[in-house]
Amino acid sequence: MNRLFQLLGGVLLCGLLSCSNADAVKNTYAAIEKTDTCKLDMNNTYEVYIPQRNNDLKKLPLLVIIDSHGGGKFALEKFKEAANQFSAVLIASNLVKNNYGGYQEAIQTLIADARQKYPIGETVFMTGFSGGARMVLGYALNHQVDGLIMCGALANPDQIKLLSCPLISISGMDDFNFMETAQYLFQEQSIPDKLKIELINASHSWPDHQVLANALGFLRFSCKASVIPPQSKSQIKMYCQHQQSKIDSLKQSGDFLKAALLARNMASTEPFSDKTFASTYEAIKTNTEYISQMNRLEKYLNYEISVRQQYTDAFQTKDTLWWKNEIRTIEEKIKTEQDSYLKDTYLRIKAFWGIASYSLCNQAVKGKNAEVLNKILSIYRMLEPENPDMFYFSAFPYFWKKNNEATYSMLNKALEAGYTNMGQLERNFPESITASLF
Protein backbone atom coordinates (compact mmCIF):
# COMPACT_ATOMS: atom_id res chain seq x y z
CA MET A 1 0.00 0.00 0.00
CA ASN A 2 2.76 2.39 0.94
CA ARG A 3 4.44 1.50 -2.34
CA LEU A 4 1.22 2.35 -4.20
CA PHE A 5 0.95 5.76 -2.49
CA GLN A 6 4.58 6.48 -3.37
CA LEU A 7 3.90 5.68 -7.01
CA LEU A 8 0.75 7.80 -7.06
CA GLY A 9 2.59 10.62 -5.31
CA GLY A 10 5.36 10.46 -7.90
CA VAL A 11 2.88 10.57 -10.75
CA LEU A 12 1.10 13.55 -9.15
CA LEU A 13 4.39 15.36 -8.56
CA CYS A 14 5.43 14.80 -12.18
CA GLY A 15 2.07 16.12 -13.28
CA LEU A 16 2.48 19.25 -11.17
CA LEU A 17 6.00 19.79 -12.45
CA SER A 18 4.79 19.33 -16.02
CA CYS A 19 2.06 21.91 -15.49
CA SER A 20 4.57 24.25 -13.88
CA ASN A 21 6.97 23.85 -16.82
CA ALA A 22 4.13 24.26 -19.28
CA ASP A 23 3.12 27.50 -17.56
CA ALA A 24 6.73 28.70 -17.67
CA VAL A 25 6.91 27.97 -21.38
CA LYS A 26 3.48 29.48 -21.90
CA ASN A 27 4.52 32.64 -20.05
CA THR A 28 7.74 33.13 -22.00
CA TYR A 29 8.08 34.40 -25.56
CA ALA A 30 11.02 32.99 -27.50
CA ALA A 31 13.60 35.34 -29.03
CA ILE A 32 12.95 36.49 -32.60
CA GLU A 33 15.56 37.34 -35.24
CA LYS A 34 14.59 38.00 -38.85
CA THR A 35 14.82 40.27 -41.88
CA ASP A 36 11.67 42.28 -42.61
CA THR A 37 10.36 44.70 -45.25
CA CYS A 38 8.32 47.86 -44.80
CA LYS A 39 4.80 47.48 -46.22
CA LEU A 40 4.88 51.02 -47.64
CA ASP A 41 8.34 50.70 -49.24
CA MET A 42 9.62 47.33 -50.44
CA ASN A 43 13.17 48.72 -50.70
CA ASN A 44 13.16 49.66 -47.02
CA THR A 45 14.32 46.41 -45.44
CA TYR A 46 15.55 45.97 -41.89
CA GLU A 47 16.89 43.44 -39.42
CA VAL A 48 14.86 42.66 -36.30
CA TYR A 49 15.85 41.19 -32.94
CA ILE A 50 13.48 40.71 -30.00
CA PRO A 51 15.00 39.05 -26.92
CA GLN A 52 13.27 36.29 -25.00
CA ARG A 53 10.82 37.85 -22.58
CA ASN A 54 8.03 37.07 -20.13
CA ASN A 55 4.49 37.88 -21.12
CA ASP A 56 4.26 40.54 -18.41
CA LEU A 57 6.43 42.67 -20.71
CA LYS A 58 3.73 43.51 -23.23
CA LYS A 59 5.67 46.37 -24.85
CA LEU A 60 9.42 47.00 -24.99
CA PRO A 61 11.51 50.09 -25.76
CA LEU A 62 12.78 50.31 -29.33
CA LEU A 63 16.39 50.84 -30.38
CA VAL A 64 16.80 51.98 -34.01
CA ILE A 65 20.27 51.27 -35.43
CA ILE A 66 21.73 53.09 -38.45
CA ASP A 67 25.05 51.88 -39.86
CA SER A 68 26.95 54.27 -42.12
CA HIS A 69 27.22 51.56 -44.82
CA GLY A 70 23.72 50.13 -44.42
CA GLY A 71 25.09 47.00 -42.76
CA GLY A 72 21.98 46.10 -40.79
CA LYS A 73 22.98 42.53 -39.90
CA PHE A 74 26.49 43.52 -38.84
CA ALA A 75 25.27 46.38 -36.65
CA LEU A 76 22.46 44.30 -35.14
CA GLU A 77 24.96 41.73 -33.86
CA LYS A 78 26.72 44.48 -31.92
CA PHE A 79 23.57 45.17 -29.87
CA LYS A 80 22.09 41.72 -29.21
CA GLU A 81 23.83 41.43 -25.85
CA ALA A 82 22.44 44.87 -24.93
CA ALA A 83 18.91 43.83 -25.93
CA ASN A 84 19.16 40.64 -23.88
CA GLN A 85 20.39 42.53 -20.81
CA PHE A 86 18.04 45.47 -20.93
CA SER A 87 14.94 44.17 -22.77
CA ALA A 88 14.67 46.20 -25.95
CA VAL A 89 13.53 45.52 -29.51
CA LEU A 90 16.26 46.14 -32.09
CA ILE A 91 15.68 47.22 -35.68
CA ALA A 92 18.66 47.92 -37.95
CA SER A 93 18.18 49.50 -41.37
CA ASN A 94 19.61 47.90 -44.51
CA LEU A 95 18.57 50.91 -46.60
CA VAL A 96 19.67 54.06 -44.80
CA LYS A 97 23.38 54.73 -45.22
CA ASN A 98 25.82 57.54 -45.98
CA ASN A 99 24.52 60.06 -48.52
CA TYR A 100 21.03 58.54 -48.52
CA GLY A 101 18.56 61.26 -49.44
CA GLY A 102 15.31 61.36 -47.52
CA TYR A 103 16.75 59.39 -44.60
CA GLN A 104 14.36 60.97 -42.08
CA GLU A 105 11.32 59.81 -44.02
CA ALA A 106 12.85 56.35 -44.44
CA ILE A 107 13.51 56.08 -40.69
CA GLN A 108 9.99 57.26 -39.90
CA THR A 109 8.55 54.60 -42.24
CA LEU A 110 10.80 52.00 -40.62
CA ILE A 111 9.64 52.83 -37.08
CA ALA A 112 5.96 52.94 -38.05
CA ASP A 113 6.23 49.57 -39.81
CA ALA A 114 7.99 47.90 -36.88
CA ARG A 115 5.42 49.27 -34.43
CA GLN A 116 2.60 47.62 -36.36
CA LYS A 117 4.29 44.22 -36.27
CA TYR A 118 6.23 43.91 -33.02
CA PRO A 119 5.76 44.50 -29.25
CA ILE A 120 7.13 48.04 -29.28
CA GLY A 121 6.07 50.72 -26.81
CA GLU A 122 6.29 54.49 -27.05
CA THR A 123 9.93 54.75 -25.96
CA VAL A 124 12.39 55.14 -28.84
CA PHE A 125 16.18 55.13 -28.53
CA MET A 126 18.42 55.59 -31.55
CA THR A 127 22.04 54.86 -32.35
CA GLY A 128 24.33 55.24 -35.33
CA PHE A 129 27.94 55.00 -36.36
CA SER A 130 29.80 57.79 -38.22
CA GLY A 131 27.45 59.05 -40.94
CA GLY A 132 24.75 56.94 -39.31
CA ALA A 133 25.30 58.87 -36.07
CA ARG A 134 24.80 62.14 -37.92
CA MET A 135 21.56 60.81 -39.40
CA VAL A 136 20.05 59.72 -36.09
CA LEU A 137 21.00 63.15 -34.73
CA GLY A 138 19.21 64.81 -37.66
CA TYR A 139 16.16 62.66 -37.05
CA ALA A 140 16.15 63.39 -33.30
CA LEU A 141 16.28 67.14 -33.94
CA ASN A 142 12.93 66.86 -35.72
CA HIS A 143 11.15 63.97 -33.97
CA GLN A 144 10.44 62.69 -30.48
CA VAL A 145 13.32 60.48 -29.36
CA ASP A 146 14.09 59.39 -25.78
CA GLY A 147 17.85 58.92 -26.06
CA LEU A 148 20.73 58.87 -28.55
CA ILE A 149 23.97 56.90 -28.74
CA MET A 150 26.35 58.50 -31.26
CA CYS A 151 29.46 56.49 -32.21
CA GLY A 152 32.34 57.88 -34.26
CA ALA A 153 30.80 61.36 -34.68
CA LEU A 154 29.35 64.03 -32.42
CA ALA A 155 27.01 67.01 -32.54
CA ASN A 156 28.05 70.63 -32.13
CA PRO A 157 26.93 72.61 -29.04
CA ASP A 158 24.05 74.35 -30.84
CA GLN A 159 22.63 71.01 -32.02
CA ILE A 160 22.88 69.51 -28.54
CA LYS A 161 20.98 72.47 -27.09
CA LEU A 162 18.10 71.77 -29.47
CA LEU A 163 17.86 68.08 -28.51
CA SER A 164 15.03 67.06 -26.18
CA CYS A 165 16.80 63.88 -25.06
CA PRO A 166 20.10 62.73 -23.49
CA LEU A 167 23.02 62.01 -25.82
CA ILE A 168 25.75 59.46 -25.17
CA SER A 169 28.87 60.01 -27.26
CA ILE A 170 31.22 57.03 -27.68
CA SER A 171 34.42 58.27 -29.28
CA GLY A 172 37.70 56.55 -30.11
CA MET A 173 40.70 58.62 -29.09
CA ASP A 174 42.44 57.37 -32.24
CA ASP A 175 39.41 58.26 -34.41
CA PHE A 176 39.92 61.05 -36.97
CA ASN A 177 36.61 62.54 -35.73
CA PHE A 178 37.94 62.77 -32.17
CA MET A 179 38.29 66.55 -32.61
CA GLU A 180 34.50 66.79 -32.44
CA THR A 181 34.60 65.29 -28.94
CA ALA A 182 37.81 66.97 -27.76
CA GLN A 183 36.17 70.41 -27.83
CA TYR A 184 34.14 69.44 -24.74
CA LEU A 185 36.99 68.03 -22.65
CA PHE A 186 38.94 71.06 -21.48
CA GLN A 187 36.31 73.25 -19.88
CA GLU A 188 33.89 71.36 -17.66
CA GLN A 189 31.28 74.09 -17.89
CA SER A 190 31.22 73.70 -21.69
CA ILE A 191 29.84 70.14 -21.48
CA PRO A 192 26.05 70.31 -21.95
CA ASP A 193 24.03 68.52 -19.24
CA LYS A 194 22.47 66.28 -21.91
CA LEU A 195 25.87 65.07 -23.16
CA LYS A 196 27.61 62.04 -21.66
CA ILE A 197 31.01 61.17 -23.12
CA GLU A 198 32.77 57.82 -23.09
CA LEU A 199 36.24 57.49 -24.61
CA ILE A 200 37.55 54.22 -26.05
CA ASN A 201 40.24 53.03 -28.44
CA ALA A 202 38.33 51.69 -31.43
CA SER A 203 39.71 53.75 -34.32
CA HIS A 204 36.80 54.52 -36.69
CA SER A 205 34.49 51.56 -36.13
CA TRP A 206 31.52 50.43 -34.05
CA PRO A 207 32.50 49.98 -30.37
CA ASP A 208 32.48 46.46 -28.95
CA HIS A 209 29.24 44.87 -27.71
CA GLN A 210 30.01 45.44 -24.01
CA VAL A 211 30.49 49.18 -24.45
CA LEU A 212 27.24 49.39 -26.42
CA ALA A 213 25.35 47.34 -23.82
CA ASN A 214 26.62 49.68 -21.14
CA ALA A 215 25.34 52.70 -23.11
CA LEU A 216 21.88 51.20 -23.65
CA GLY A 217 21.71 50.35 -19.95
CA PHE A 218 22.51 53.96 -19.10
CA LEU A 219 19.61 55.17 -21.27
CA ARG A 220 17.19 52.52 -19.96
CA PHE A 221 17.86 53.22 -16.29
CA SER A 222 17.91 57.01 -16.61
CA CYS A 223 14.99 57.34 -19.05
CA LYS A 224 12.20 59.47 -17.57
CA ALA A 225 9.49 58.32 -19.97
CA SER A 226 6.48 57.14 -17.95
CA VAL A 227 5.64 54.38 -20.45
CA ILE A 228 8.95 52.54 -20.17
CA PRO A 229 8.93 49.31 -18.08
CA PRO A 230 10.37 50.20 -14.64
CA GLN A 231 13.74 48.89 -13.51
CA SER A 232 14.19 47.48 -10.01
CA LYS A 233 16.46 49.07 -7.42
CA SER A 234 18.58 45.93 -7.40
CA GLN A 235 19.17 46.22 -11.16
CA ILE A 236 20.21 49.85 -10.80
CA LYS A 237 22.47 48.99 -7.87
CA MET A 238 24.14 46.23 -9.89
CA TYR A 239 24.65 48.62 -12.81
CA CYS A 240 26.24 51.22 -10.51
CA GLN A 241 28.55 48.58 -9.04
CA HIS A 242 29.63 47.57 -12.54
CA GLN A 243 30.34 51.21 -13.41
CA GLN A 244 32.35 51.74 -10.26
CA SER A 245 34.36 48.60 -10.99
CA LYS A 246 35.03 49.88 -14.51
CA ILE A 247 36.18 53.26 -13.17
CA ASP A 248 38.51 51.56 -10.68
CA SER A 249 39.96 49.36 -13.44
CA LEU A 250 40.64 52.39 -15.66
CA LYS A 251 42.35 54.20 -12.79
CA GLN A 252 44.54 51.19 -12.06
CA SER A 253 45.60 51.01 -15.73
CA GLY A 254 46.41 54.74 -15.76
CA ASP A 255 43.47 55.83 -17.98
CA PHE A 256 42.47 58.73 -15.72
CA LEU A 257 40.70 60.77 -18.40
CA LYS A 258 38.41 57.88 -19.34
CA ALA A 259 37.76 57.14 -15.66
CA ALA A 260 36.94 60.79 -14.95
CA LEU A 261 34.39 60.99 -17.76
CA LEU A 262 32.61 57.81 -16.62
CA ALA A 263 32.49 59.10 -13.04
CA ARG A 264 31.12 62.43 -14.25
CA ASN A 265 28.45 60.70 -16.36
CA MET A 266 27.22 58.79 -13.33
CA ALA A 267 27.49 61.66 -10.86
CA SER A 268 25.45 63.99 -13.08
CA THR A 269 22.59 61.60 -13.91
CA GLU A 270 19.63 60.29 -11.91
CA PRO A 271 19.14 57.64 -10.60
CA PHE A 272 22.90 57.05 -10.39
CA SER A 273 23.91 60.37 -8.88
CA ASP A 274 25.27 59.89 -5.39
CA LYS A 275 28.22 61.11 -3.37
CA THR A 276 30.40 58.14 -4.35
CA PHE A 277 30.61 58.99 -8.05
CA ALA A 278 30.86 62.74 -7.35
CA SER A 279 33.74 62.30 -4.91
CA THR A 280 35.48 59.89 -7.31
CA TYR A 281 35.21 62.47 -10.08
CA GLU A 282 36.57 65.30 -7.92
CA ALA A 283 39.46 63.15 -6.68
CA ILE A 284 40.50 62.16 -10.21
CA LYS A 285 40.53 65.81 -11.34
CA THR A 286 43.16 66.65 -8.72
CA ASN A 287 45.33 63.64 -9.56
CA THR A 288 48.69 64.73 -10.99
CA GLU A 289 48.64 62.02 -13.66
CA TYR A 290 45.19 63.16 -14.83
CA ILE A 291 46.45 66.75 -15.08
CA SER A 292 49.51 65.57 -17.01
CA GLN A 293 47.35 63.58 -19.43
CA MET A 294 45.09 66.57 -20.09
CA ASN A 295 48.11 68.82 -20.73
CA ARG A 296 49.62 66.32 -23.14
CA LEU A 297 46.32 65.83 -24.93
CA GLU A 298 45.89 69.58 -25.41
CA LYS A 299 49.46 69.89 -26.72
CA TYR A 300 49.06 67.08 -29.25
CA LEU A 301 45.65 68.31 -30.42
CA ASN A 302 47.11 71.75 -31.11
CA TYR A 303 49.90 70.09 -33.09
CA GLU A 304 47.38 68.04 -35.06
CA ILE A 305 45.31 71.11 -35.90
CA SER A 306 48.40 72.95 -37.13
CA VAL A 307 49.51 70.15 -39.50
CA ARG A 308 46.13 69.26 -41.00
CA GLN A 309 46.11 72.29 -43.29
CA GLN A 310 49.74 71.66 -44.24
CA TYR A 311 48.86 68.13 -45.30
CA THR A 312 45.79 69.33 -47.18
CA ASP A 313 48.04 71.65 -49.20
CA ALA A 314 50.58 68.85 -49.69
CA PHE A 315 48.06 66.84 -51.74
CA GLN A 316 48.44 69.56 -54.37
CA THR A 317 52.08 70.56 -53.92
CA LYS A 318 54.05 67.42 -53.01
CA ASP A 319 54.94 64.54 -55.30
CA THR A 320 54.43 60.81 -54.77
CA LEU A 321 57.98 60.26 -53.45
CA TRP A 322 57.46 62.88 -50.72
CA TRP A 323 54.21 61.22 -49.71
CA LYS A 324 55.82 57.78 -49.69
CA ASN A 325 58.45 58.99 -47.22
CA GLU A 326 55.88 60.84 -45.09
CA ILE A 327 53.60 57.79 -44.89
CA ARG A 328 56.53 55.54 -43.98
CA THR A 329 57.63 57.99 -41.25
CA ILE A 330 54.19 58.20 -39.64
CA GLU A 331 53.70 54.42 -39.80
CA GLU A 332 57.04 53.90 -38.06
CA LYS A 333 56.06 56.39 -35.33
CA ILE A 334 52.77 54.56 -34.82
CA LYS A 335 54.69 51.31 -34.29
CA THR A 336 57.31 52.68 -31.90
CA GLU A 337 55.71 55.59 -29.99
CA GLN A 338 55.36 54.83 -26.26
CA ASP A 339 53.17 57.81 -25.34
CA SER A 340 49.65 56.54 -26.09
CA TYR A 341 48.28 60.08 -26.54
CA LEU A 342 50.93 60.91 -29.13
CA LYS A 343 50.45 57.54 -30.84
CA ASP A 344 46.71 58.31 -31.09
CA THR A 345 47.65 61.64 -32.71
CA TYR A 346 49.65 59.88 -35.42
CA LEU A 347 46.81 57.42 -35.99
CA ARG A 348 44.36 60.32 -36.38
CA ILE A 349 46.69 62.08 -38.83
CA LYS A 350 46.98 58.97 -40.98
CA ALA A 351 43.21 58.48 -40.90
CA PHE A 352 42.78 62.14 -41.87
CA TRP A 353 44.92 61.50 -44.95
CA GLY A 354 42.53 58.70 -45.92
CA ILE A 355 39.46 60.89 -45.51
CA ALA A 356 41.13 63.72 -47.44
CA SER A 357 42.03 61.26 -50.22
CA TYR A 358 38.41 60.14 -50.46
CA SER A 359 37.11 63.72 -50.55
CA LEU A 360 39.63 64.90 -53.15
CA CYS A 361 38.98 61.83 -55.35
CA ASN A 362 35.27 62.54 -55.15
CA GLN A 363 35.82 66.15 -56.23
CA ALA A 364 38.04 65.07 -59.12
CA VAL A 365 35.42 62.56 -60.31
CA LYS A 366 32.68 65.20 -60.24
CA GLY A 367 34.92 67.54 -62.26
CA LYS A 368 36.11 64.69 -64.52
CA ASN A 369 39.69 65.77 -63.84
CA ALA A 370 41.76 62.67 -64.67
CA GLU A 371 45.11 64.31 -63.91
CA VAL A 372 44.17 65.30 -60.37
CA LEU A 373 42.37 62.00 -59.76
CA ASN A 374 45.39 59.92 -60.78
CA LYS A 375 47.68 61.95 -58.53
CA ILE A 376 45.43 61.56 -55.48
CA LEU A 377 44.94 57.86 -56.24
CA SER A 378 48.69 57.31 -56.20
CA ILE A 379 48.68 58.53 -52.58
CA TYR A 380 45.45 56.74 -51.67
CA ARG A 381 46.88 53.39 -52.83
CA MET A 382 49.92 53.77 -50.58
CA LEU A 383 47.77 54.75 -47.62
CA GLU A 384 45.00 52.16 -47.91
CA PRO A 385 45.88 49.55 -50.55
CA GLU A 386 42.74 47.45 -49.89
CA ASN A 387 40.24 50.28 -49.47
CA PRO A 388 37.06 49.58 -51.52
CA ASP A 389 36.47 53.28 -52.25
CA MET A 390 40.00 53.55 -53.64
CA PHE A 391 39.26 50.72 -56.11
CA TYR A 392 35.94 52.36 -57.00
CA PHE A 393 37.61 55.69 -57.83
CA SER A 394 40.37 53.86 -59.72
CA ALA A 395 37.77 52.69 -62.25
CA PHE A 396 37.02 56.21 -63.53
CA PRO A 397 40.26 56.94 -65.43
CA TYR A 398 39.75 53.70 -67.38
CA PHE A 399 36.07 54.46 -67.90
CA TRP A 400 36.84 57.91 -69.28
CA LYS A 401 39.27 56.26 -71.74
CA LYS A 402 36.47 53.79 -72.69
CA ASN A 403 38.51 50.84 -71.45
CA ASN A 404 35.54 48.79 -70.28
CA GLU A 405 37.55 45.69 -69.41
CA ALA A 406 39.81 47.58 -66.97
CA THR A 407 36.82 49.51 -65.60
CA TYR A 408 35.00 46.28 -64.88
CA SER A 409 38.12 44.81 -63.22
CA MET A 410 38.47 47.77 -60.84
CA LEU A 411 34.80 47.78 -59.93
CA ASN A 412 34.96 44.06 -59.26
CA LYS A 413 37.93 44.65 -56.93
CA ALA A 414 35.91 47.31 -55.14
CA LEU A 415 33.06 44.87 -54.54
CA GLU A 416 35.43 42.12 -53.38
CA ALA A 417 37.01 44.58 -50.94
CA GLY A 418 33.60 45.42 -49.45
CA TYR A 419 32.16 48.28 -51.50
CA THR A 420 28.42 48.53 -50.77
CA ASN A 421 27.07 51.72 -52.38
CA MET A 422 25.38 49.98 -55.31
CA GLY A 423 23.10 52.91 -56.07
CA GLN A 424 26.07 55.22 -56.62
CA LEU A 425 27.85 52.62 -58.74
CA GLU A 426 24.82 52.11 -60.97
CA ARG A 427 24.32 55.86 -61.39
CA ASN A 428 27.90 56.47 -62.52
CA PHE A 429 28.50 53.47 -64.75
CA PRO A 430 26.35 52.07 -67.60
CA GLU A 431 24.45 48.79 -67.35
CA SER A 432 26.77 47.27 -69.96
CA ILE A 433 29.48 47.34 -67.28
CA THR A 434 27.52 46.86 -64.07
CA ALA A 435 25.09 44.13 -65.20
CA SER A 436 27.57 41.27 -64.74
CA LEU A 437 28.95 42.63 -61.43
CA PHE A 438 25.98 41.63 -59.30
In a domain, 259, yes or no: no
In DSSP terms, which residues pair with 38 in a beta bridge? Answer: 41
Asked whether residue 224 falls in the same domain as residue 346, the answer is: no
Considering only CA atoms, which of 233, 244, 61 is closest in space to residue 147?
Answer: 61
Over range 187-211, report the average pLDDT.
Answer: 89
**CATH number, domain at 432?**
1.25.40
Q: Which of 231, 246, 274 is the last residue of a domain?
A: 231
| pTM, two decimal places | 0.88
Q: Which is nearest to 169 in space by CA: 203, 131, 230, 212?
A: 212
Domain identity same for 349 and 224? no
Rg over alpha carbons for the chain, rounded to the nearest Å, is 26
Domain assignment of residue 165, yes or no: yes
pLDDT higher than 70, residue 24: no
Question: In Å, what is the CA distance from 228 to each residue of 87, 140, 208, 224, 270?
Answer: 11, 18, 26, 8, 16
In a domain, 97, yes or no: yes
Per the domain annotation, does 72 fall within a domain? yes
The band of 9, judged by pLDDT with boundaries at 50, 70 and 90, is: very low
Q: Is residue 12 part of a domain?
A: no
Beta-carbon count within 10 A of 161 CB = 10
Mean pLDDT over 373-391 rounds to 97
Q: Which domain holds residue 391?
A: 321-437
Asked if 216 and 94 sit in the same domain, the reply is yes
Q: Domain with 86 in it: what CATH number?
A: 3.40.50.1820
pLDDT of residue 405: 94
Per-residue confidence (pLDDT) for residue 23, from 0 to 100: 46
Contacts 24+ apart (CB under 8 A), 37-45: 38/109, 38/110, 38/113, 39/113, 39/116, 40/109, 40/112, 40/113, 41/106, 41/109, 43/95, 44/93, 44/95, 44/106, 44/109, 44/110, 44/113, 45/72, 45/93, 45/94, 45/95
Which residue, of 231, 254, 279, is where some domain finishes? 231
Residues 20-47, mean pLDDT to the nearest whole number = 81
In a domain, 204, yes or no: yes
Q: Is residue 423 part of a domain?
A: yes
In tens, the pLDDT along 273-303 reads 878 999 999 999 999 999 999 999 999 999 9
The total number of structural domains in the chain stands at 2
Q: Do 109 and 216 share a structural domain?
A: yes
How far, in Å, CA of 394 to CA of 396, rounded? 6
Instruction: Render pLDDT for 313-354 as a digit per residue (tens, 0 to 9).
Output: 999 999 999 999 999 999 999 999 999 999 999 999 999 999
How much is the mean pLDDT over the chain?
A: 90
The confidence band for 203, taking pLDDT boundaries of 50, 70 and 90, is confident
SS (H, E, C) 375-413: HHHHHHHHHCCCCHHHHHHHHHHHHHCCCHHHHHHHHHH
pLDDT at residue 230 in the model:
61
β pairing state of 41-50 and 32-38: antiparallel
**173 in the same domain as 49:** yes
Q: Contact, 70 vs 97, CB < 8 A?
A: yes
Does 180 share its domain with 69?
yes
Give Cβ neighbours of residue 7 (< 8 Å, ≥ 6 apart). none
Pick the residue with more confidence: 225 or 17? 225
Per-residue pLDDT tens digits for 160-189: 999 999 999 999 999 999 999 999 999 877
Residues 54 and 182 in one domain: yes
Residue 314 domain flag: no
Q: What is the average pLDDT across 379-400? A: 97
Indicate if 334 and 209 belong to the same structural domain.
no
From 398, 406, 356, select the one nearest 379 (Cα to Cα).
356
